[in-house]
Amino acid sequence: MEIRGKGAKAPRAPFTPYPPYPLYPFKMIELQNVSKSYRTDTIETLALQHMNLSVPAGEFLSIMGPSGCGKSTLLNIMGLIDEPTEGSVSLAGKEVTSYNGTKVARFRNEQLGFIFQSFHLINDLSVVDNVELPLLYRRVGTKERRRLSLEALEHVGLSNRAGHFPTQLSGGQKQRVAIARAIVGRPNIILADEPTGNLDSHMGDEIMDILTRLNTDLGTTIVMVTHDERMAKKTHRLVRLSDGERVS
Amino acid sequence: MLNHLLKLMWNKRRANGLIFLEILLAFVVLFGVYAFGFYNLERYSSPLGFSYENSVGVHMDLPDDMDSVAVERLQERILRETRELPGVASATFLGPVNPFGGNTWSTGSDDNGFHLQTMMVFADENYAETLALEFREGRWFTEADQAGKYEPIVVNGKFIDEYYPTRASMIDSIIQINGEKKIVGVVDNYKYHSNFAENRPLTFFSPRSWKADGQNPFEQLIVRAEPGQTAAIEEPIYNLLSSLTKNPDVVIWNMAEDRIKANRPVVIPLVILISISAFLLINIALGLFGVLFTQISHRRAEIGLRKAMGATPAEVTTQFVVEVVLVTLAGLLLGTFFAIQVPLLELLPIPAKFFYLGIGAAVATILLIVVLCALIPSRQAAGLQPALVLHEQ
């Protein structure tokens, strides 16, 4: 999906539900033999080793494992914000391993939504301006941008906080703003890196409910890294990593 | 995108206050230096209107105990024998207002109810030839003019432009300047104070006017040497004049050196101001570098986030450059508002165009420096790896 030009409109209604999983069996994410190593002057650290993973469209997948096992590295590679040392990555049916510069930026903008443990909201921008960010880089016109952002905020139950600044929100509210920002561009894939990690269990449950609804109502493919077994059980499938390798 | 950045900058206005202030102050200083510089540059680039090269000025004391006829004969002899010296091309007597000497004489007069104000120079018939004056029309006065009905005068172009702009020619016109005078010639320029002097209305009076005024005889001489002979003629001139006047008080100076001295009152402040401005600009550049590098190190997570949201490296670079340019433009806008009051309210006696030029040049210089200083840190920001910076927090 590509929306460009002033006043450009989304080709489909932003939150029209997809048929629920598993009616879309094509592979939204496919990693083949992906390895990642970090090299310093003296040592080479293997973060991921020969990882193979397929995520069908509409699946809600969780990834668990001890700290340093390569969960975030895997998520970063799926999100095209890190490059594998070897192997290939296909997203939404496209081989994207060789994408770089502007092409990878555009692909990220159109196909991927990110949710981070520490929210990563810009404190100098209001809630609605934070949510607008992905649409800004898609050259969506001002009015359309505002309409879609308010709609996304409504979806996470925060439309009454549109004019507030992140510093005026609780942790749970911040994460809901981050979710609104992740879904405003209607990406096919949402990558969530410990989205409940900084929240208490009640807030965490609220966020999980929103993510589950996104997945069931909209059919968005979600990959979530978590340390919380209870949250992982709410997803369709759990992948466990250890020392950069898939163990289940 | 511009709206987004304007909003962001407005929300960060306190953080950007110091850059704004720095830009504003730099603009005010640069505006002043540019306006002053352009004004003087234009004056420097307008021709002096006479030749000072290969020339020396000479001051002598003529004997006090001689009658006027004897003094005239002595002057004629001085002139003749000086011209006969080897290496001398020309010589002329003049009154106390000599080129680059720093003296100013002026007079005001009513010409048919029309007020004239003019600078005064007194010189003999050889002056135009010795100083290679360039004429707009007419000629220099001759010995024959000394016996005519009217005292002859030569004026400069500024005199005509200011007082008789509609007249096709003023040659042979009789005007009132300390009595009736006949204009026999109009020279283009004659900036005798310095290269930076303003071209003001000026009148050359002949020895006839000088005598009529009851003044002491001319005691200054300008001697033009053949090329390369300037230093060589100084000693023979001294020997000749001290012998003829029977007085060793003969002072000789090089007119080229005198010109440099005469320019100093403008050149020195200008050099100081330019040095201060250059220092200021270097400070601004270093300050901006520092501020931008600090901002970028504080905003690494934001940069990573923007890249994750789909910002291309070019968009990240553009964002940081535009952000600093927006703050700069705000400072320049306020600075321009203040600066433009100077020509509008005619606060200084300098033509308005130099202030407008000063505003334009100051704006262009500051914007150029700001963009150049913003580019390096901004490109560095664009190169940050989102995976790395997003996990730093």
Residue A4 has pLDDT above 60, yes or no: no
- Provide the pLDDT for residue B160: 94
d(CA A85, CA A76): 13
Nearest to A81 among B8, B313, B387 (CB): B387
Contact A79 B308 (CB under 8 A): yes
Same domain? For B13 and B69 the reply is no
Per the structure block, which two tokens stand in for B209? 């006017």
d(CA A77, CA A98): 12
Cβ-based burial of B187 (10 A; exposed 0-12, middle 13-18, buried ≥19): buried
Same domain? For B95 and B208 the reply is yes
Nearest to B8 among A124, A142, A185 (CB): A124
Q: Tens digits of per-residue pLDDT, A59-92? A: 999 999 998 888 989 999 999 988 899 999 999 8
Parent domain of B169 = 61-249
Q: Taking a C-beta distance cutoff of 8 angstroms, is the pair B131, B99 a contact? A: yes
d(CA A109, CA A90): 16
State which of B249, B281, B309 marks the end of a domain. Answer: B249
Q: Where are the beta strands (DSSP E) in B173-219?
A: 174-176, 180-187, 202-205
Own/partner contacts of B229-237, CB < 8 Å, gap of 24 or more, are B229/B54, B229/B86, B229/B87, B229/B88, B230/B54, B230/B55, B230/B56, B230/B254, B230/B256, B232/B87, B233/B56, B233/B85, B233/B86, B233/B87, B233/B88, B234/B56, B236/B85, B236/B86, B236/B87, B237/B56, B237/B58, B237/B82, B237/B85, B237/B88
What mean pLDDT comes out for the span A96-125? 89
Other beta carbons within 10 Å of A118 = 18
Same domain? For B85 and B208 the reply is yes
Residue B302 lies in a domain: yes
Residues of chain A with Cβ-Cβ distance to B385 below 8 Å are 81-82
pTM: 0.75
d(CA B357, CA B364): 11
How many angstroms from the chain centroid is the CA of residue A16? 19
Same domain? For B83 and B204 the reply is yes
Q: How far is B299 from chain A (nearest CA, A)?
A: 9
Nearest to B309 among A118, A125, A137 (CB): A137
Q: Tens digits of per-residue pLDDT, A30-62? A: 999 999 998 877 888 888 999 999 999 889 999
Same domain? For B94 and B177 the reply is yes
Pick A17 or B306 by higher pLDDT: B306
Residue B50 lies in a domain: no
| Residue (of A142, A79, A138) closest to A109 by Cα position | A138
Order of strands across the sheet that contains A221-225: A112-116, A189-193, A221-225, A60-64, A237-242, A245-246
Per the structure block, which two tokens stand in for B274? 């330019």
d(CA B351, CA B96): 31
Same domain? For B280 and B245 the reply is no
Q: Which residue has the tokens 């995976």?
A: B387
Order of strands across the sheet that contains B88-94: B88-94, B220-225, B55-59, B251-254
Residue B289 lies in a domain: yes
Residue B31 lies in a domain: yes
d(CA B336, CA B355): 10
Nearest-CA residue of chain B relative to A139? Answer: B1
Q: How many domains does chain B have?
A: 2
Other beta carbons within 10 Å of B297 = 11
Partners of residue B79 on adjacent β-strands: none
- Provide the pLDDT for residue A6: 43
Q: Taking a C-beta distance cutoff of 8 angstroms, is the pair A53, A30 a contact? A: yes
Same domain? For B222 and B177 the reply is yes
Mean pLDDT of chain A: 85
Residue B169 lies in a domain: yes
Q: Whole-angstrom distance between the N-terminal and C-terminal Cα of chain B?
A: 26
Mean pLDDT (10-residue bins), chain B, 393 residues: 84 84 90 92 91 94 85 92 94 93 88 86 94 94 85 94 90 89 93 91 90 83 93 93 92 94 93 89 83 81 89 90 91 95 90 95 93 87 82 68
Q: Taking a C-beta distance cutoff of 8 angstroms, is the pair A57, A188 a contact? A: yes
The DSSP secondary structure of chain A, one letter per residue, reads ----STT---SS-TTPPPPPTTS--SEEEEEEEEEEEEE-SS-EEEEEEEEEEEEETT-EEEEE-STTSSHHHHHHHHTTSS--SEEEEEETTEE-TT--HHHHHHHHHHHEEEEETT----TTS-HHHHHHHHHHTTT--HHHHHHHHHHHHHHTT-GGGTTS-GGGS-HHHHHHHHHHHHHTT--SEEEEESTTTTS-HHHHHHHHHHHHHIIIII--EEEEE-S-HHHHTTSSEEEEEETTEE--
- Provide the pLDDT for residue A8: 43
Same domain? For B244 and B275 the reply is no
Same domain? For B38 and B71 the reply is no
Residues of chain A with Cβ-Cβ distance to B305 below 8 Å are 120, 122, 133
Is B312 an 8 Å CB contact of chain A? yes
Residue B179 lies in a domain: yes
Partners of residue B174 on adjacent β-strands: B182
Nearest to A105 among B304, B310, B393 (CB): B310
State which of B203, B225, B249 marks the end of a domain. Answer: B249
Residue B202 lies in a domain: yes
Other beta carbons within 10 Å of B176 = 14
Cβ-based burial of B2 (10 A; exposed 0-12, middle 13-18, buried ≥19): exposed
Q: Measure the CA angle with vertex A76, ends A188 and B297; round to 5°.
A: 115
Q: How far is B303 from chain A (nearest CA, A)?
A: 10
Nearest-CA residue of chain A relative to B387? Answer: A81
Contact A137 B311 (CB under 8 A): yes
At residue A17 the predicted structure's pLDDT band, cuts being 50, 70 and 90, is: very low
Domains observed in chain A: 27-246 (3.40.50.300)
ipTM here: 0.85
Residue A3 has pLDDT above 60, yes or no: no
How many angstroms from the chain centroid is the CA of residue B278? 20
State which of B207, B226, B249 marks the end of a domain. Answer: B249
Is B7 an 8 Å CB contact of chain A? yes
Contact B310 A72 (CB under 8 A): no
Same domain? For B226 and B355 the reply is no
Same domain? For B41 and B173 the reply is no
Is B318 an 8 Å CB contact of chain A? no
Dihedral (CA of B303, B306, B310, B311) sign: negative
Residues of chain B with Cβ-Cβ distance to A137 below 8 Å are 306, 309-312, 315
Partners of residue A9 on adjacent β-strands: none
CA atoms within 13 A on the CB side of B237: 31
At residue A24 the predicted structure's pLDDT band, cuts being 50, 70 and 90, is: low
Per the structure block, which two tokens stand in for A160? 């009454």
Same domain? For B176 and B298 the reply is no
Residue B51 lies in a domain: no
Q: Which residue has the tokens 């130099």?
A: B354
Q: Measure the CA angle with vertex B84, ends B79 and B87; round to 5°.
A: 115
Nearest to B309 among A102, A124, A133 (CB): A133
